[in-house]
Chains A and B, each alone.
Chain A
Amino acid sequence: MISKRIVLHFPQRLVDQPIVYKLVKDYDLQFNILKAYVTPQEEGLMVLELTGEDEQFKKGIDYLESCGVRIQPLSQDIIRNEAKCTDCGVCVPICPVGALVVDPLTSKVHFYDNKCIACELCVKVCPTKAMEIHF
């Protein structure tokens, strides 16, 4: 079994096509949609947590790419600007998945991007705008 959080970028011509449902139907993959929207440039953007058998997972990804969907690992999308972060910790109780944690020894805030679901709540609450979106 493999489980990954990925970002799918759908080009304009695919925005009105049913694509993701095939991941279930043809490749027996489970998905949890964390975010989905169409940008003003009419590009589709979807953040998925995708789970399935290794072989099927690979085939599913190949299928998406063959359709023209660009795939990006989620951890590259929400980035902490270290120069701006003051390690205050006001984001910590706001993060719904515990991806932002205060280190008890150093009192600095750690960002575990592998846990991040890109909900963007921290982006809005950060007083110094240190959490950045790079979709």
Chain B
Amino acid sequence: MKIHFWGVRGSIPSPGPHTFRYGGNTTCIEVRSDDGSLIILDAGTGIFPLAQALLKQMPVQAQVFITHTHWDHIQGLPFFTQLYIPGNTVRIHGGYDVVAGRGIDQIMEVQLQYSYFPVREVEMMARIEYETLSIGEPVTVGDATVTPLLLNHPVVNFGYRVACNGKSVFFTGDHEAWTNMYAPQDEGYAEYQQMIDAQQGQLDQALAGLDVLIADSSYTAAEYATKVGWGHGTLEGNIAWARRLGVKKLICTHHEPTRSDDDLERAFAAALEAAEYAPGRPGEPEILLSREGLELVL
């Protein structure tokens, strides 16, 4: 299995000299299974350079998995050039939006309203299919399986575990570890804490044996104090999670758009130091920042 990062930024594309080393495109990760099947995790603006790279291949069979439909995870979708080329098949997977009462099939219909984009979906010549996923029910893609797991974000957000021939990677999309909405002195605190612990326990169980964790690490622990409930994780929290899961590699992603490369490296170094990161120590995961162009082979 091969993983290629095409977009690593959170919230809004942030090009420019200050983000040159890590990249300014929003989330898009290409995963190739051992038999070459193409899995695309999220369609942020990073999907556009991926589309350019794919132009050499014809026809393309792409399986796009959308973690959730916030802009930074779908903005590049109409620029996924393969959608316009006859002979291609693009299958878009995602969750059910309980507020709108619609499945993932609404994604382009909403995004391509004529005032906002000049091309209509019927004018896209590829075969476009939609699949609204159920929690925990795996989808087969070539020799890989992709399993959606429900995480915690203001909208329904699926993390995806991609497994192929005994190796596996999990991408969180946007996720904030569950927190107790009650204060310790409140009546409902203990009961709610039990529910959260059970939820986290179920997720950890579903991730048993994982090799690579790619996690939303938007904030530092210090920044998080004023951002509780925004639906994002922290560098420190993910380091602890990766250790608990016993993964081999943790990739921290969804970098804050306001963070320059230098700031990002400083925040990362401070988090590693606070966690007493000991690379090479038995059981210690390798911890990296995601950047555009980063490739992993599992």
Are A and B subunits of one complex? Answer: no
A positions within 8 Å CB-CB of B: none
B positions within 8 Å CB-CB of A: none
